[in-house]
Every structure is written in C-alpha cells, then in structure tokens.
Amino acid sequence: MELRGSTALITGAASGLGAACARRFAEAGANVIILDRDEARAARLADELGAPARAIGADVTSEEQVAAAVRLAVETFGALHININCAGIGMALRTTSKNGPHPLDVFETVVRINLTGTFNVIRLAAQAMAANAPTPSGERGAIVNTASVAAFDGQIGQVAYAASKGGIVGMTLPLARDLARDGIRVCTIAPGIFDTPLLAALPEEARESLGKQVPFPPRLGLPEEFAHLAQAIVENPMLNGEVIRLDGGLRMGPR
C-alpha cells in the first residue's frame, strides 16, 4: 500500500505514538485524519501538518463518533486506505490490596477503551476500505494496531492493561483472516518502553533507569521508531496477521 495519495485514519493521534505516525505519514504524502479525545490538541497538530490533515474529536468506544471520522475521511479525501490504532490508557492496580479487590469498573474501562475501542475502529474502517478499488496486487487497505510487551510479559499491577493488550494480540490473526477476502491486511505492533507522554511525567533519573533495562539500544524507544515500523507494515504487502515486538530485546520482569 503506497502512502502517497492514500488516506490514513490514526487514533490517539494528538500525541505520542499516534502523533509520530501522523507526522511521518503526512511527510510521505498521505492524507491523515487525526482522531483523538483531545480535539484541541488534535486541531493544533492538523494545523501544523497543513492541507493533508484533518482533526476530529472522538471517543474510540463510540460507534457514532468513529463512524463520523470514517465519513470525514471518505468525504474529504475520497476513500480510506489505512487505519493506525494508537488510542489507549493504562492503569496499575493489583488484583487484591489492603483497599479490597481490584475495582471491576476500572478493569472494564481499560478493556473497553484499549480492546473494544480498537475493534470498534477496525470494523468501521474496514467496512469503508472494502469499498475501495483494489490496487494491482489486490490490496484495498492496511490496518496496524498497538498492543504492548505487557501482552506477553505483564507485570505486577498490569492485569487490566495486559488483558486488554493480550486481546489485541489475540484478534490480530482472525482479523487478518476475516478481511483477507476484502484485500485488507492487519498487523499489530507490541512496543516496549517508549518515550511517550505517559513516561514524560517521570523524573529524568527514572526515565534513564527504565531505558537501561533495554538490552540494545539501552534507552527508551522513540515514537518516530514506532511510526517507522507502522509505515513499513503498510508498505510491505506480505506482512499480514503478524504481531511484531518493538522493544530492543526487552523482556519485562515481574516488577
């Protein structure tokens, strides 16, 4: 799938991994729909990127709001070809504690946003992609999801987060199989420790300590490196149904 002239819907795109994808894809000649709950921040990024970008405030768990974003892509740029899913949250709570059991509503919220929200975007974006004219190789679309190494190496306190990201890993292959008849590929990136707004609040000493846990390179991953892999997946027609760890060889311990 060529980026130049294609249209990408990117969720969680106002900051972090999603913003890096929006910038890289726009620089490569793609049109980008910047979807984020923080509409003001999304609009600032769209203004920065200029004509090939549009911002829309939306919650990935809302069918109506995501459908509106898909319509915006099609009505503005003629079609939707690419979907990058970066929207998500993380909360750290043990299954039991002195305050009682893990709050069920917290677990449900994390799964609803990270897993159900990702699937909500995929199903609506894929329906639009299926209407595209195929490329000479038969492609109509490409979808890249964001999991986490926590899907495999979930740490203490990550039960909700790991479950939500494990669900994304688990649905990657069946999604690719479901959508193969429509010429739509699906892959997932499982990043390790990345320099995103979630870690920006930590002291520099703590950030350096986290980075040193990575075998090589011994540092935090850069959002631009995530975007680089997302582009490679979109552009490589044989990448399908695969989950790729992007972690510098990191394997998380229990803490």
Residues marked active site are found at 161
How far is the first Cα of the chain from the last one, in angstroms, to the nearest whole number? Answer: 40
Structure tokens at 38: 């923080």
Per the listing, tokens 């998500």 go with 88
Question: What are the backbone angles phi and psi of residue 124, rounded to the nearest 5°?
Answer: -75, -40
CA separation, residue 188 to residues 96, 157, 185, 209 (Å): 31, 23, 10, 27
CA distance 223 to 244: 15
Structure tokens at 163: 């479950």
Q: How far apart are CA 10 and CA 121, in angstroms?
A: 10
Torsion-angle region of residue 100: left (phi > 0), alpha (psi -120 to 50) or beta? left
Residue 4 carries which DSSP code?
T
| Site of tokens 């292959």 | 173
The rounded distance, in Å, linking the Cα atoms of 123 and 141 is 12
Tokens of 174: 């069946």
